[in-house]
Amino acid sequence: MKKKILIVDDDKDIFESMKIVLEAEGYEVLWATNGDDGLKLAADKKPDLMILDVMMNTDDEGFQVAYKLKQNKDLNDMPVIMATSVSQKTGFSFDKERDEDFLPVNEFLEKPIDPKVLIDKVRENLGQ
């Protein structure tokens, strides 16, 4: 059975490029363009992993989604990879160890994401 990956990103080009890479590796890819739809789709389809943008309708929407996921007992064990260009735009960088309580995600990847890095991190977070 194919592993499902939910991409929550408002940029169609980013989604399409990740979808091509992930489908070529045999994953089923779902898409939501904002946090609310992403949370609903996650609850409904129970993806195996989420790739989450930070800045969508608001500058911190991805942070809010990550926090809500970890509060949801049905979804809190789903790995989350945060895909962001925040560092480029603000100079702020994330540190998994330092920021884990504030931002409970498994990985931070800087956009644009190298396809090999994307696949490696997806596999790693799915235990493959």
The mean pLDDT of the chain is: 89
CATH 3.10.129.10 corresponds to the domain 4-126: no
Kindly report the pTM of this predicted structure: 0.89
Q: What is the pLDDT of residue 96?
A: 53
Cβ neighbourhood burial of 73 (10 Å; 0-12, 13-18, 19+): exposed
Q: What is the pLDDT of residues 79-121, one digit of tens each?
A: 999 998 755 544 455 555 554 555 678 888 988 899 999 999 9
For 20-34, what is the mean pLDDT? Answer: 98
Q: What is the pLDDT of residue 105?
A: 86
Tokens of 56: 């969508």
